Structure 1
Amino acid sequence: MIQLNKLNGDTFTLNATLIEQVQSLPDTTITLINGKKILVKNSFEEVVRLTTLFYKEIGLQQLQLYKQVGEEDE
């Protein structure tokens, strides 16, 4: 889970595994895998950093690394 700030300043926690994409439009827009869009005050870079840290914390970062290595061998 990552902690983010809505545009009105309220803090909320998001399950980062539900993130499909992050865009800077210029507000940072997070699109979830169900199609829902969330606008946040956090910068694009901060959302990516927090998501990456969360993935490392739960072990998903290593799974992605292994997948990339496996794809190169094919």
Structure 2
Amino acid sequence: MIMITLTRLNGKTFTLNALYIEQVEAFPDTTITLTNNKKLVVKDSVEEVNEKVTTYYQRINVLGLQQTTEE
């Protein structure tokens, strides 16, 4: 997967390239601000978005993050 999957407030899922995320906040709904200043409101919690972004970065090896595997 080259993108992360998120859920809109209406329950519909969509995929987003995590590289375009500038900021993630809770207002109390999770609001994602993109680099183009567009805002997306999602059902996913801030923690869930952060986990998905971290996993995405590990998969594409951004900033030298290595995906860890348990043996």
TM-score under structure 2 normalisation?
Answer: 0.86
Runs of 4+ in 1 over 3 A off after TM superposition: none
**Structure with higher helix content:** 1
The answer (yes or no) to whether the contact 1:52–1:61 under 8 Å persists in 2 is no
TM-score under structure 1 normalisation?
Answer: 0.82
Mapped pair 1:57 → 2:59: yes
Q: 1:11-26, aligned counterparts within 5 Å?
A: 11-26=13-28
Mapped pair 1:27 → 2:29: yes
Q: Among the aligned pairs, what percent are the same residue?
A: 57
Letter in 2 for 1:36: K
Aligned partners of 1:42, 1:61: CA distance in 2, in Å? 25
Q: How many residues align?
A: 63
Q: What is residue 40 of structure 1 aligned with on the other side? A: 42
Tell me the C-alpha RMSD between the 2 structures.
1.0
Aligned partners of 2:27, 2:64: CA distance in 1, in Å? 30
- Higher-Rg structure is 1
